[in-house]
A and B are shown apart, each in its own frame.
Chain A
């Protein structure tokens, strides 16, 4: 098949960017979108051009590195699919595809389709963990955990930290990302010990990083490649309210 690409090109963080057009000729429907970009880059390198920079690593939808807005939708319009798992069979011969980086102030563009997502690491550093040291852990079966609780915790823990939720949100809110970690840990007895401290610290870090507020449009849930549901945000709000009350101050 033959596809036309409109790709965002931006030399560096401080440079102006613009769309450039490329042709992907004789590509196979079984290729993934990123494999097509690999091919386009091969041609660009061979002809003395500069290849398109984009992030990717595992190419199987789990590392969360790939971050391309495809025709206006982060990771493209296939439900529950990362850009690296999106295959060309879902496009039609002759289609024009527009590729852009995540666009959100807390995720500055580094080059072309590559963005800086350190803000997510900083939020986890603020409290997205259980404060245990290595060694001295009790037997893993010492505290039985209801299967339903573990299953719900895992439904939230599947987050791959890609940032599509932020890219889709008109407010660039990181609520789905933060709420996934808050929910995962607050649903388990091991994480419940420091639940108040955690949610307050993570929300503060999220605000400090410049992410916007949540206005419950649900766009994050719609693009999440791991199908994390917006319920986690409700859970986080509850955890947050609870923590404020327990801390003895209500704004």
Chain B
């Protein structure tokens, strides 16, 4: 199966503009004939559902939460990047493009990233028009701050709640379409399978989480906007409900999965406090605009109160190692530097797994009021969780699993290798390469949903490829039967171990062997252990209740069963990629300075895995990465 990314020809800067005018169109009157199923209502899903409904398509949108407004995009704190050059500091589309390509360690698709940078400015304008209350200067114009991996200020923000306000903007636009009858919302509804008929995505099988009823929806196209799979690690910054079931079911139906091992660990999260913890909380990267990260120079100072350690005995290790980017080094690099100082025994707090994020200097310089205005809600959140006042004592931070750059493979049109299956937002793989820069996730989600998919999906319909599959097509009944059988099997095991105990064990294993650093031996051990754990799960899991009611235990069991398969693919991909790049750090591939060492000769490709049945190994397809504009260089932030 050859993977064709369908990248338009011509110079990079004009590819998208020219391509847009070449794309096929659907007459407004005919748009009503097309049913689009959008799964997920986060930034990309809600934006796509609203925009497609505005255009006149018949849209059904699905989410597992009780309202579209609760999708996890809501928790994004810091901001959204856009190349508007509001600060007159030399920003441009080309610079945002280059920062993003470099941030992703030259493992993303150039044409997609350039398009993203081009669209970025229009996103801000769209959101302002929707009533998103972006921070403003006293003169009434938009304000910016800086984020990791950039030397310009291009991040637009709404206090520490940017994701919330952007999501509410998209949710409100979708609500308007619902009231106009153009879109229908299915809440507390989880997608459990994809229906593929003659190689085309024709619908989905869902479970009503309240009644337990299994039903099918037929459509002319299916859009997966279902987010990432960080929760596979059990402890992550994702919401409890985030899961990989939709993308994993699509993979099993033939969609290829790209770069699964590209996962992101965020450097500043509140450290684990005890073994019962179920969820980690991130502290926005924006805090590193004013906070300084440090540990004691000497191990014997680690137990002392931070205030009693004089300036000369502190090691501001990010500023020391990366003088030109300092505390705003990209996430993968900052996380590894943190692990390094903690592994050297200079970490602080319980177990030595923590570093200080100190606002003392900023407070002395700007005063407490200015700090409160900028970060008030983040300091408050920290106080709730830790019971400490970060205006007085430095925060304690440690890296945690946060985001997944990998996802279903898509072409330039955001369509997977299955006709009619589009994948947008975090669920696809295309724009962030091996590491995502801060404030770029919101940008990508909204670019996909508002400004890319609405064009490319029309082209798919216009090119006459889809043929209707009636809801009574046997393909639907067959998929429903499989879903029901799987749920019945989960309920019938009635073993001794809870779902959570399996999930915790898998998470620990992945964190140790496929986390911040990865080695051949560790990955081989994980690949040996995961199938064992999967067999133990199916032989000894205990799921309570029945399938015909609200059953949160069953929902989780089904998700964990998928993680037990997906995790194997993630480790397999990590083992295959014998180089370090971005968040994927192989201990065998390190520069003299201890940084990630890429191997462009062998690994400048997208690894796309094809499912070939449970008993066979997946097949690897390679999409070569070719750069016309960006120069593949060793990434340095020193």
Chain A residues close to B by CB (< 8 Å): 12, 27-28, 30-32, 35, 38-39, 41-42, 44-46, 48-51, 53, 55-65, 80-81, 85-87, 89, 110-111, 114, 116-118, 120-121, 124-126, 128-135, 137-141, 144-147, 150, 153-154, 157-158, 160-161, 184-185, 188, 190-191
Q: Which residue of the partner chain B has the closest CB to A188?
A: B131
Would A134 and B164 count as touching, CB distance under 8 A?
A: no
Q: Roughly how many angstroms separate A60 CA and B72 CA in the complex, as a whole number?
A: 11
Would B66 and A65 count as touching, CB distance under 8 A?
A: yes
> Which B residues lie within 8 Å of A146 (CB)?
136, 140
Q: Roughly how many angstroms separate A220 CA and B130 CA in the complex, as a whole number?
A: 27
Q: In B504-542, which residues have CB < 8 Å from any A CB?
A: 542
> Which A residues lie within 8 Å of B68 (CB)?
121
Q: Roughly how many angstroms separate A152 CA and B129 CA in the complex, as a whole number?
A: 18
Chain B residues close to A by CB (< 8 Å): 47, 50-51, 54, 65-72, 74-75, 84, 86, 122, 124-131, 133-142, 158-159, 161, 164-165, 168, 171-173, 175-176, 178-179, 185, 187, 210, 239-241, 273-274, 276-279, 281, 380-381, 384-385, 387, 450-451, 454, 496, 498-501, 542-545, 549-550, 552-553
Would A35 and B276 count as touching, CB distance under 8 A?
A: yes
Q: Which residue of the partner chain A has the closest CB to B132?
A: A157
> Which A residues lie within 8 Å of B187 (CB)?
118, 121
> Which B residues lie within 8 Å of A44 (CB)?
544
Q: Roughly how many angstroms separate A130 CA and B480 CA in the complex, as a whole number?
A: 40
Q: Roughly how many angstroms separate A49 CA and B544 CA in the complex, as a whole number?
A: 7
- Knowing A53-B550, A80-B380, A85-B385 are in contact, say whether A110-B210 is a contact too (CB < 8 A): yes
Looking at the assembled complex, report how far the CB atom of B328 sits from the nearest CB atom of chain A, in whole angstroms. Answer: 23
Partner of B553, one of A27, A51, A132, A135: A51
Would A191 and B131 count as touching, CB distance under 8 A?
A: yes
Would B281 and A121 count as touching, CB distance under 8 A?
A: no
Partner of A129, one of B175, B278, B451: B175
> Which A residues lie within 8 Å of B179 (CB)?
125-126
Would A137 and B128 count as touching, CB distance under 8 A?
A: yes
Would B124 and A140 count as touching, CB distance under 8 A?
A: yes
Looking at the assembled complex, report how far the CB atom of A224 sits from the nearest CB atom of chain B, in whole angstroms. Answer: 14
Would B67 and A121 count as touching, CB distance under 8 A?
A: yes
7 contacts between A and B (CB under 8 A): A46-B498, A125-B179, A128-B172, A140-B134, A144-B140, A150-B136, A190-B130
Q: Which residue of the partner chain B has the closest CB to A26?
A: B276
Would A58 and B74 count as touching, CB distance under 8 A?
A: yes
Q: Which residue of the partner chain B has the closest CB to A49?
A: B544
Would A128 and B175 count as touching, CB distance under 8 A?
A: yes
Q: Identify the 10 closest CB pairs spanning chains A and B, nearest first.
A: A144-B140, A129-B172, A137-B129, A140-B128, A30-B273, A125-B179, A57-B239, A137-B125, A85-B384, A134-B51
Partner of A158, one of B65, B161, B542: B161
> Which B residues lie within 8 Å of A129 (CB)?
130-131, 172-173, 175-176
Would B129 and A161 count as touching, CB distance under 8 A?
A: no
Q: Roughly how many angstroms separate A250 CA and B168 CA in the complex, as a whole number?
A: 33
List 5 extra interface pairs beyond A61-B381, A130-B130, CB under 8 A. Answer: A28-B273, A31-B273, A51-B545, A110-B210, A158-B161
Q: Which residue of the partner chain A has the closest CB to B84?
A: A140
Q: Which residue of the partner chain B has the closest CB to A78?
A: B384
Would B75 and A62 count as touching, CB distance under 8 A?
A: yes
Interface centre among A118, A126, A147 (most CB of B within 10 A): A147
- Knowing A114-B550, A129-B172 are in contact, say whether A63-B74 is a contact too (CB < 8 A): yes
Would A45 and B553 count as touching, CB distance under 8 A?
A: yes
> Which B residues lie within 8 Å of A191 (CB)?
131
Q: Which residue of the partner chain B has the closest CB to A112?
A: B550
> Which B residues lie within 8 Å of A49 (CB)?
544
Would A134 and B172 count as touching, CB distance under 8 A?
A: no
Q: Which residue of the partner chain A has the closest CB to B211?
A: A12
> Which B residues lie within 8 Å of A120 (CB)?
67
Q: Roughly how many angstroms separate A81 CA and B550 CA in the complex, as a whole number?
A: 27
Partner of A35, one of B241, B277, B380, B498: B277
Partner of B276, one of A38, A48, A81, A157: A38
Q: Roughly how many angstroms separate A246 CA and B231 CA in the complex, as a whole number?
A: 52
> Which A residues lie within 8 Å of B210 (CB)?
110-111
Looking at the assembled complex, report how far the CB atom of B130 sits from the nearest CB atom of chain A, in whole angstroms. Answer: 5
Q: Which residue of the partner chain A has the closest CB to B210?
A: A110
Would B281 and A60 count as touching, CB distance under 8 A?
A: yes
Interface centre among B124, B165, B384, B553 (most CB of A within 10 A): B384
Would B277 and A137 count as touching, CB distance under 8 A?
A: no
Would B66 and A55 count as touching, CB distance under 8 A?
A: yes
Would B454 and A134 count as touching, CB distance under 8 A?
A: yes
Q: Roughly how many angstroms separate A184 CA and B501 CA in the complex, as a whole number?
A: 44
Would B131 and A137 count as touching, CB distance under 8 A?
A: no
> Which A residues lie within 8 Å of B124 (CB)?
140
> Which A residues lie within 8 Å of B543 (CB)?
45
Would A145 and B276 count as touching, CB distance under 8 A?
A: no
Looking at the assembled complex, report how far the CB atom of A66 sits from the nearest CB atom of chain B, in whole angstroms. Answer: 10
Would B384 and A61 count as touching, CB distance under 8 A?
A: yes
Q: Which residue of the partner chain A has the closest CB to B277?
A: A35
- Knowing A46-B542, A144-B141 are in contact, say whether A62-B498 is a contact too (CB < 8 A): no
> Which B residues lie within 8 Å of A57 (CB)?
65, 70, 72, 239-241
Q: Roughly how many angstroms separate A161 CA and B68 CA in the complex, as a whole number?
A: 11
